[in-house]
A and B are shown apart, each in its own frame.
Chain A
Amino acid sequence: MRRLAPVALLGGLLFTACGTPTDDARILFPLPGAVLDSPVKLEANRPGTWRIRGEVFGTGRQASLSAAPGPQTVTFEPEAGGLVQTLEVTVSDPFPSGVPKRVNVSGGTLTLPAGTFSVILGNPAERIWRGEVQSSREAEQEALTPQTTSGERTRAASPPDPAAFQESQVRRLVQRGVQAARPPFQAQEVSPPPARSRTIQMPDLVRGGSRPVQAELVWSGPGVAAYGEHPERWSLETRAAVQTISARFAATLWPRTQATFGAASDVDGDGRVLLLFSAHLNETQQAVGLFNPADLFAPGPDNADSNGAEVLFLGLPTPNDLNFSAASLTATACHEGTHLIHLARKTLSRLDDPDPPVEELALSEGLAHLAEDLCGYGQSGGNGAFVAAYLARAAQTSLTGVDLAGVGDSVARRGAAYLLLRRAYEQMPRGWAQRLVSSPETGLSGLAQTTGQTPTALQEDLWWTLALAGRLPGPAHRFAPQHPDPETGDLSGIDLTAGRVSIGELAQVTLQGLPEARSWPRALPGGALVYRRLSGEQTLNGLDGLLVLVRREEPETVRAKR
């Protein structure tokens, strides 16, 4: 016996490891009182038999219960004997009336009961989604074909794309290690008076590169000096309009822009931003205004086009031209000034980092269009045209990437980015815009970081806000009511169902919310959505990779639509 003792001990250990468990059988999931969608997934720590109202619906450790909405009592009888467990749960209504829901479509299938539903299919990823959504009620599916041409005469970018050029230019300068022309936010001393005449390098939107412009001072005021190219050729009306734009920008809009997004850089230490009004932009018709990011970087062999100064380029005010109206140009000054602040605070202040952040073009443009709105040119500046273009082509427009034709920056995408940022601006406390502009994160990640929302949640909120425009009384999924700007009298904000909207005195667009698609698309760019209203019991297949949002229409809404 004594010699066997170690063996017995070893055997004892072995039996402890492999023998019958000592802990009681119990239900691990869900917890009592849980409210769950059907089918309810249940799990115990031991195998057993699952019952509801005495009927067996599963055996083993796991079971799945399909039950009608309402309270349900589940019992679990352990296979090895022991106490029968009881669990009280509530099976929820999967589509409560009037509540927007994100639906988990495991297996790519959505089953809708009888009723009328608003259904949004969105592509939350950056890459293009391709597939085929099939409905049990629809025999034929029709692909939505991409539409890449637009007839709008707005500040649309057209090849060569000045905005895209700017983003790649910043990346090139950052990668080459070109430094800021001067510490960007160094406190300025007493500002010297602006030179009456100076040479300014202006980007050439036709040939590329830049050309020297002999610029003459046409107006100066606190923080702003305005120059003109060949002002001696301007009419009296043009000169007066330029001075009015410059004075308004200096007195109200530039201080307001900096208060919203943060102080601008002062890389040349002159304490002011320069405006250069040039007919080159009117003649080329490729941009109403522009900001050349190279200007904030030190001039040198790698950056020959730099002015080493804060310069905003604007076209000449022209009567009867929607793009070059005084309102459009003033709004554009805010727009380009915001690009300047954005670059300075996000990138220029981090040039010593190993990998300085460079904002994604879509977010940069969206923020610049938000700036037009906040400057008091929400309507006359033309944002309505960008939004209308987006609403008409939401299924073909990527939020931050390229559309189905490979086009990045577009009128529609700018409209989308403006709406996304306007929504965040309305919901976030004061100071959010400065945090976004100064954040080291870029794109949707920066927006997520500064709002505390995931990128998917941000898109989901925007998509519901578009689809339910004009149909919800409360603040959820709804843009704030527009209000007149105290300085300009223009309406600030956006009303997606405003109907006919005047853009200045020259043009009108119509905003009627997000139109319902007639069929499901076979491709959706990243961040794009398609919206439909479906009636009757049906099953949708092929939804893998899509964000599926469903809202059962309330009876009143259904009646109203009829």
Chain B
Amino acid sequence: MMRRLVLLCAALLCACSPAPTPGTARLRVSVTTTLTPPAGTSSLLAVSLEGGDGQALSGALASVTEPGGALSALPFDPQTLSYRARLAGGDGIYQVTVDSAAAGVLTAEVPVLTLSPAPALTDLQDGLGARALSGARLSAATPIRVEWSATPQADRYLVDVRQRGVVVWSGQSTQTSLIVPAGTLQGTAGPGVLSSVTVTASALRGDTAFRSAPFLSVSSAPSGASGFQVGP
């Protein structure tokens, strides 16, 4: 037992130790892709180039080749110390190339994914059976079950519940339903408290720590806000 514990801790320490070799320039690419109907999809591409001394390199020639072959320059943004551009291209592999005197030519292939269609709310029901989509007021004293349609390729879903415009509860699930615990929302007699729920489908490709991959590609598709009334 003692032996197993020691091994486990060694693995834990290994996971927390720095991976890159000191003195090597490296590239980190992040892409945030959002589906915003009816405008469509837009992707924000940001490339940071770190020299061997850990400082950001600003003088490189950075470019991205879209899956369709279009080539775009990535201008340096001194505020974020990264090479950035907003792209309107679709799904596929984007080839990022950064050429600098200090670090030479570095490349990365970054997958970009558009999540579509956005999730749509299919049910919003309280623990006693009242359904908001049938016009009923939900009871704040019971658990409230939120259900939505699946978005292909989504890894998980983020759910935000707002009351009077303020987020009062958030949750996430890899399934297509979640339960808001009883007593989380406020409810009043009469028409009730105007509330809304938003579900955002999300997918992640790459590595959040930029270790196993030099990129992080995050895609999201938010549903529209669905309003409902909450009683006691």
Q: Which residues of A contact B (CB under 8 A)?
A: 4, 7-8, 10-11, 14, 28-31, 33-37, 41, 43, 62, 89, 92, 101-104, 106-107, 452-454, 456-457, 460
Contact = CB atoms under 8 A, between A and B. Distances in A.
A107 B125 contact: no
A4 B131 contact: no
A313 B190 CA distance: 43
A41 B125 contact: yes
A452 B190 contact: yes
Given A41-B145, A41-B177, A31 B127 contact: yes
A10 B145 CA distance: 37
Interface in B203-232: 227, 229
Nearest to B131: A104
A89 B128 CA distance: 9
- Could you say which of A30, A43, A92, A460 has the most chain B C-beta atoms within 10 Å of its C-beta? A30
Given A41-B147, A452-B191, A34 B128 contact: yes
B14 interface: no
Contacts of B175: 62
A7 B129 contact: no
B106 to A, nearest CB: 37
A107 B117 CA distance: 13
B122 A43 contact: no
Interface stretch (B3-11, B58-66, B73-81, B91-99): B3-11
A203 B186 CA distance: 53
B142 interface: yes
Interface string B179-195: 10000000000110010
Contact of B142 (A11, A31, A103, A460): A31
A11 B5 contact: yes
B179 A102 contact: no
Contact of B134 (A7, A30, A62, A103): A103
Nearest to B133: A104
Contact of B9 (A10, A30, A33): A10
B122 A107 contact: yes
B179 A29 contact: yes
B135 A30 contact: no
Contacts of A92: 129
A147 B135 CA distance: 32
A275 B80 CA distance: 65
A41 B229 CA distance: 21
Given A14-B12, A28-B143, A34-B127, A104 B177 contact: no
Contacts of B9: 7, 10-11
B228 to A, nearest CB: 8
B191 A104 contact: no
Contact of B135 (A62, A89, A107, A460): A460
Given A29-B179, A31-B143, 10 more contacts: A10-B9, A11-B9, A30-B127, A30-B129, A30-B143, A33-B128, A35-B128, A41-B125, A92-B129, A104-B134
B32 interface: no
A29 B227 contact: no
